[in-house]
Amino acid sequence: MTPSTSRRNMLRGSVATAALAVGPALAGTAHAAPSPGTPHVGILLYDGYSLLDPTGPAEILARLPGASVTMIAEKRGAVRTDTRDVAMVADRCIAEVDRLDVLLVPGAGNRGTLGAMNNQALLDWIRQIHRQSLWTTSVCTGSLILAAAGLLEGKQATTYWASAEYLQSAFGVTYLPQRYVHSGKIITAAGVSAGIDMALYLAYLIAGEDTARAIQLAVEYDPHPPFDSGNAADADTPLRQRALELLAASQA
């Protein structure tokens, strides 16, 4: 192997040749998967979203065969996160998008979530897209925004752990403390990082188990956090307080 061949194949490791040989067969399998063949995923950005909420699922869903992922906002252009340190680009505005296979609504801190819940143009657009979507999904407090749009009434759903009481009391939703909750064509995920687990489940629903398992390997999702403190049900009050303190302090 020459150095340049080696470089070109550096991401393929020892299976490079075999992978090329079976490419067409694999592609055939992928296209034989359940609906839709080329899923169009749209992620709604709004001022103050939390960065991992859209990007975790985007990383997963972009690997679905034939998929496209589009960041969408009320206006095109840069949309800043809750910390205001980071921005993603919305390549489309809501007026340009009238149909999606998958809609994903990320969560945010208080400011961003309230802003979206009170933005009638966004809520109207969510309702419009939901009418024809195959899947309508949320991460973290994104479920509060779906609820504000009237999509969760009488349903089971999940949300960020610290928002569970509010989701139940304000919207009559039955909160389930799960990583994700599948209710009809709506799938809600718990806080922030739970969007990754939800997206793998959605990949399974869209393209089947083999593809979902392969995507999990593609993003090397074999989580081993150094601590085990991510579940609010196991956290004592000081830990919960400190988590919310850190969030509040980081948010602009």
Judged by CB under 8 A, the stretch of 83-91, 97-105, 129-137, 149-157 that binds a second copy is: 83-91
Select the residue interacting with a second copy from 33, 94, 192, 206 (CB under 8 A).
192
Cβ atoms 130, 151 nearer than 8 A: yes
| Residue 93 is a catalytic residue | no
Contacts for 142 with CB less than 8 Å, ≥ 6 apart: 53, 104, 105, 106, 107, 188, 189
CB of residue 177 to a second copy, shortest distance in Å: 10
Distance between CA atoms of residues 162 and 151, nearest Å: 21
Kindly identify the residues of this chain, within the stretch 108-137, that bind a second copy according to CB under 8 A: 109-110, 113-114, 117
96 vs 210 by CB, closer to a second copy: 210
SS3 53: helix
Residue 162, burial from CB neighbour count under 10 angstroms (0-12, 13-18, 19+): middle
Cβ atoms 129, 146 nearer than 8 A: no
> According to the binding rule CB under 8 A, does residue 157 interact with a second copy?
no
> According to the binding rule CB under 8 A, does residue 242 interact with a second copy?
yes
Amino acid at 191: G
Judged by CB under 8 A, the stretch of 94-102, 125-133, 149-157, 198-206 that binds a second copy is: 198-206
Phi first, then psi, for residue 164 (nearest 5°) are -60, -45
SS3 29: helix
CB of residue 176 to a second copy, shortest distance in Å: 13
- Residues near a second copy (CB under 8 A), total: 110
Distance between CA atoms of residues 80 and 61, nearest Å: 22
> According to the binding rule CB under 8 A, does residue 241 interact with a second copy?
yes
Kindly identify the residues of this chain, within the stretch 44-73, that bind a second copy according to CB under 8 A: 50-52, 55-56, 58-59, 62-65, 67-71
CB of residue 212 to a second copy, shortest distance in Å: 6
Distances in Å between the alpha carbon of 195 and those of 178, 203, 226, 235? 12, 12, 20, 21
Kindly identify the residues of this chain, within the stretch 3-32, that bind a second copy according to CB under 8 A: 3, 6-15, 18-19, 22-23, 26-27, 30
> According to the binding rule CB under 8 A, does residue 174 interact with a second copy?
no
CB of residue 101 to a second copy, shortest distance in Å: 14
72 vs 94 by CB, closer to a second copy: 72
CB of residue 136 to a second copy, shortest distance in Å: 19
Distance between CA atoms of residues 213 and 220, nearest Å: 10
75 vs 240 by CB, closer to a second copy: 240
Q: What residues act catalytically?
A: 140
